Structure formats: C-alpha cells, structure tokens
A and B are shown apart, each in its own frame.
Chain A
Amino acid sequence: MCRTPLLLLLLLVACTSAAVEPQRPRLTLAWVSKSLGNPVFDHGRDGAIQRARELSASGAYEIELVAAAPASADAVEQTRVLDDLIARRVDGIAVSCNDPIACAEPIDRAVAAGIPVMTWDSDAPESGRFTFLSIDNTAAGREAARLLADAIGGAGKVAIITGVPGGLNLEQRVAGFRAVIADYPAITVVAEVATDEDISKGVRGVEEVMQAHPDLRGWFFAGMWPLIADRGAMPQWEAATRAGQLKTVCFDTLPFQLELLREGYLTALIGQKYWGWGYDSIQILYDTIVHGRAVPTFIDTGIDIVTDKNVEAMIRAWETNDFQRPLPPP
C-alpha cells in the first residue's frame, strides 16, 4: 500500500522523462496533481510535458519532468508522494493540494531540503510555497454575475448551484457572484443549493428550485455537477431554457459543456486554464530556479469566457490539444 505511489511515480517517470544527453546539466521538475484519472489534470500534465520539452530544446538544461499524483484525491497519499519526491531530491515541485493543512508540512519539509515549491489550482497558504498559480475565483464569480445579468436583461429571479458547503474556491465564486448581483436592484437570488458535488443531488436541486420558482430567469452553476447528467434528467430546466425564459452560466469548459452551449442550453462558460496549470507552472519553476527571478505570491491565470461567439474556437482547441492560441472575444 505504502509503495504504490512510488511505483506509480517510477512508472510515470519512465513514461515522461526525455532522452538522456549526458553533456548538459539536468533539472528535475515535479508536477503533482490531486488525483490520477481526472481529465482536467491529464490536460494540465500534457501542458507540463510540452513546456518541459520546449525548455529542454531551447535552454541550457536537460529538463526531466516527473508527473505524479495519488491514485485518489487523498491528502495522506499525496503527502507520501511529496515525501518520495523529496527523497529523490528533485529540483522543484509544483503541487495542487488536496488539503491546505495536510499539504503544508510536506511542502515545508521540501523547502527545508532546499527544494522550491509552488502551488497551483488549490493552495496551501500556511506553507512555505513561493507562489500560487490559479484563477481569481472571486473575480470569476463577478464575471459570471455580469454575464448572467446581461443575458436576462438585468431583472428577475436567479439561483445558485454550489458543491460541498465550505469549499474555499466555491465560496469565493459564490461571494463574487452575489456581490455583483447586489448591484442590480431588479435581480434577486432566490435559492442557493449545495450538491455535495453529487450528480443526482445537483439534478434534484435544480428541478426543485425550478418547481418552487417557475418564473426563474437565471442559474449560476459554480460547478458543472448537474450538467453531467444527460438530456432528460432535468425536464423543467430544459423546457424553460428552450422557451427562452431561462439562462444558465456555468463554470468550466469541458467538451460536453461546450456541446450544451452550442445547442443553446448554456449562455456562457467560465473556463479555467487547465493547460496552463502545467505549462505555466513549469515555466515559473524554471524561471525561479535557473534565473532566480522573483515572482509575486499570487499569479492570476485569468479566465476563459466562452459564449456562442467563440465556442467553435474552444471546441477546436480541445480537438487539437492546442490551448496556446488566444480565444476570440466572447
């Protein structure tokens, strides 16, 4: 059981290390996500691999990338993964923390061992990490509110879907959303439903709010949970949307969400820079270690706003795995 992460690690090292060229100094960078098998993290890993390859090709160092993760999103397993990396004496670590508190200790152990550590997507603010790369969740929530308010003409009832009550990034999204909605006297937030990140609880929550407020004009989904269910699971939401009465703004830009947007079920999507989680993290580690460049303690990745005006470009980005080209304006 204890050895599984190490085994996975070795497996991944074998898969991802670049060809050996002994004449150049080697830099080993580790990129650690919350869990294996999440398509969003796979995507970030691809970005990390690409930047490592580019830097190897152009720079003075041979970059070896170690992409590692616990099998499931578990804080204890992730601690073991990090300790294994410290034992291997890697040169730098970029990690997305399963738990801000549990993550802090191994990060501090790494820093004490002379390994610079940065966090991405999910932070450990109490630790000695030198920077945090993420979207600004509050700002993203504000943007969602503006998009929804525009779509419904600045008036009517709206409701919010969120995940596990207390989750920091979700709370920030909702707070940002509510702050902007408060500026519209004709818009009222009539419900906020917690889904526990569970699909069927999300579906039931959406339908129950539709039942309680048949005149609902807008939804803000702080996460995509209810949408993972296929057509037919939320008949009232679908009917109101098709009638043009209801608009929905949702977080994330996964392919199935883009499809729903293209079919007119969603008004706008707020996307995170999944690819950049890897690509930019490796760049930041490289700059810090090689050039000693100082970076601010928070780096805003910015957000992707996808509407029917640029959805085709985003679909193409997923198809070609090329997320470096900027999106056309929404």
Chain B
Amino acid sequence: MANRAVIQEVGSTTSRLRQLLNAVVGRQELVILGVLALAALTLSLLSENFFQSTNLLNLARGVSWFAVAALGVSMVILIGGIDLSVGAVMALSGLVCALMLRAGLGLPVAIGAGLLTGTTVGLLNGLLVARFNLQPFIVTLGTMGVARGLALGLTNGAPIRDLPPSFRAIGQYDLPLGPFSLPVSLLIMLCLAGMVALLLERTVLGRYIYALARDEQALLLAGIPTGRIKLIVYALSGLLAGCSGLIMTAWLGVAAPTAADGYELDIIAAAVIGGTSLFGGEGSVPGVVIGTLLMLILRNGMVLLGLPAYWQIGAIGVMILTLVLVDHLRRSRLRGL
C-alpha cells in the first residue's frame, strides 16, 4: 500500500516535470529563444565587442530587412508552397524605386512603385500557382529569373548610386529614444511583424492559411475559395519582399541589379529554423523573427571571433542542420506522447 502510494507520488512529480518540459519544448520559438540567449551569452563572454551598442545597432539594421522578407516567405510555406523569387524581387523593387528617385519623382511615388513591383511579381506567382495549378517551386524559380533579368536589363548591369538622403534614412537613421537609439528599419520590421501576426492569429483568413496545407479538400468542400487565399498569400510575399528590398537599398545607399543574389535560400532557412514546417500549417511570426536573428547573430559572432572565412560557410550549414534536427526530434517526441 505504502509502496504504491510512494510510486504514485513519484510518478505524478515526474509527469508534472514532463508537462512543464513539454510546454517549453512544445514550442520551437521557446527552444530557439533559448539557443539565441545561449549564443548571445557565449558571444558576450568571448568578445567584449558583442554587447556594444554599435554592434547591436548594426545587427538590428541588418536583421530588419532580412526578417521582413522572411515573414512573407513563411506565410507561403504555411500554405504548403515555396517562394524562390524573393531575392530577385528584393533587387528589382529596390532598383525600380531607385530609378524613380533618380528620375526626380518624389519619395512616396518611388516607394509606391517599388512596393507595386514586388506585389506584381507576387501576384504573378499566385496566379500561376492558384489558377493554373503549377508547382510553386518551378513557378517561383521562373519568376526569379524574370525579375533578375529585368533588374539587369533595366540597368545594363550597373548599380544605381547617389540616392537622396531622405530615402537612405529609412535604412540608416536611428531614432533617438532617450539614452537609446532605435533604427527606423527595426521599427518598420516590428510594425510589419505585428501586422502579419494579427493577420495570422486574429483573422479568418489567418485560420484558413494555417488550415490550407493540411486540409485543402475540406476547405473546398466548405465552399472556401482556396485559390484566392493562395493568390493573396503569394501577393503578400511579393509585397513584403519588395518592402525588404527597399529597406536593404536604403541601408546600402545603392541599388545593384545583382543584390540579394541567392538570399532566398538563407531566408527560407531562417523561417525553417524558426519553426516553420516545410510541409505547411506550422509556424509563427515570433519564431520567424527569432530564427532570422539567430542566423545573423551566429554569422556576426563568427566574424567577431575571427573564425577563418572558409570555415564560416560550413559552420552555417552545420548550424542549420542541427537546428532543423532539433525541431524534428522535438516534434516526433511530442507525437510519441
């Protein structure tokens, strides 16, 4: 009798511990937030330069535009699609905006044209995927080529410099906030992340986006126009990629047709590290933002610590594999319970 009671007692303690552990491990955001904290702690111990304000501001300015593009791509991944055109769209949008600025059109017109460019490519992606049922991988691979080719063709390959300071401020200016300063680009990123989070968590459209990859048939039977949802999601990805391209261009002060070449893969990796499942239906805005931050901090850390250039490429690859493996083990463990 007594023995059994003790066993029960022990059993309930371990199960409570397990519950707590599962509550933490159950969310990839919390896992990578832990990894992020660990990485930041290690870096600040190894290099006194890591926690300096100049470095943090640098990181913030670098992470903003990257995260904005990742938000759009993660929505596409949520509906079970993929968007390979983001890097090229970033370059093309920035370029269109720069051309407008150089033509003497005002800031609002130029920014509007840049965003419209991104949205248009996104709509084209959505149209081909939703209406013609083409594979998103090959569709966005094609539009990637089209956008990159347009960017090269419009400029003859030469970068556009001498952009007005008012435009560069979007990527370079820090708002003074008492003793701290807040980069404008970080503010824009946080606003956009908030809006995407609201869309996904608080609207009917958001619920459909989460459900689409798992249960498209059920949605169709319920009379929900899934094609239109896909169109909207791809268009939003294009719009956010355009926005990201504008911030990047403003930060660099130059619009290069070869800019952001190959970034789509880094952006997809950041979304996946943040817990977005490539099968669709799983992922969150905080996860994507933290995933992006983690990727950039590790890259930043390797340079601060003086790791040789050749090894950095491999280290990033190992990191991506490790984090995705952790995500997978965590999921299968949850399913096993």
A contact set with B: CB distance below 8 Å? 35-39, 72, 162, 165, 190-194, 197-200, 203-205, 207-209, 211-212, 214, 228-233, 235-236, 256
B contact set with A: CB distance below 8 Å? 47, 49, 52, 54-55, 58, 62, 152, 156-159, 161-163, 165, 168, 172, 248, 251-254, 256, 258-261, 300, 303-306, 308-310, 312-313
Complex-state Cα separation, A230 to B252, whole angstroms: 6
Complex-state Cα separation, A19 to B159, whole angstroms: 35
Of the candidates B252, B254, B258, B303, the one whose C-beta lies within 8 Å of that of A208 is B303
B54 touches A211 (CB 8 A): yes
B306 touches A191 (CB 8 A): yes
> Which residue on B lies nearest to A195, using beta carbons?
B309
A230 touches B49 (CB 8 A): no
> Which residue on B lies nearest to A71, using beta carbons?
B152
Would you give 5 A-B contacts (Cβ < 8 Å), ordered by A?
A: A197-B258, A198-B258, A200-B260, A212-B305, A212-B306
A165 contacts across to B, CB distance below 8 A: 309-310, 313
A207 contacts across to B, CB distance below 8 A: 58
B261 touches A230 (CB 8 A): no
**Nearest 6 CB-CB pairs, A to B?**
A230-B253, A37-B157, A208-B303, A194-B309, A37-B156, A229-B252
- A-B Cβ contacts below 8 A, count: 94
Least Cβ–Cβ distance between B125 and chain A, in angstroms: 23
Least Cβ–Cβ distance between B294 and chain A, in angstroms: 16
Complex-state Cα separation, A41 to B251, whole angstroms: 29
B159 contacts across to A, CB distance below 8 A: 199, 228
A229 touches B254 (CB 8 A): yes
Complex-state Cα separation, A209 to B259, whole angstroms: 22
A192 contacts across to B, CB distance below 8 A: 308-309
Of the candidates A208, A212, A233, A256, the one whose C-beta lies within 8 Å of that of B251 is A233
Of the candidates B152, B168, B253, the one whose C-beta lies within 8 Å of that of A37 is B152
B161 contacts across to A, CB distance below 8 A: 228, 230, 256
A229 touches B303 (CB 8 A): no
A199 contacts across to B, CB distance below 8 A: 159, 252, 254, 256, 259
> Which residue on B lies nearest to A165, using beta carbons?
B310
Least Cβ–Cβ distance between B52 and chain A, in angstroms: 7
Given the interface pairs A228-B256, A230-B162, A233-B252, the reply to whether A211 lies near B168 with Cβ below 8 Å is no
B252 touches A200 (CB 8 A): yes
A193 touches B309 (CB 8 A): yes
B304 touches A212 (CB 8 A): yes
Given contacts A192-B308, A208-B55, A212-B303, 4 further A-B contacts (CB under 8 A): A37-B157, A194-B309, A199-B256, A214-B49
B58 touches A211 (CB 8 A): yes
Complex-state Cα separation, A233 to B255, whole angstroms: 13
Least Cβ–Cβ distance between B59 and chain A, in angstroms: 9
B157 touches A38 (CB 8 A): yes
B172 contacts across to A, CB distance below 8 A: 232-233, 235
Given the interface pairs A230-B254, A233-B172, the reply to whether A208 lies near B300 with Cβ below 8 Å is yes
A211 touches B253 (CB 8 A): no
Please indicate which of the listed interface residues B162, B168, B304, B309 has the most CB atoms of chain A within 10 Å of its own CB: B309
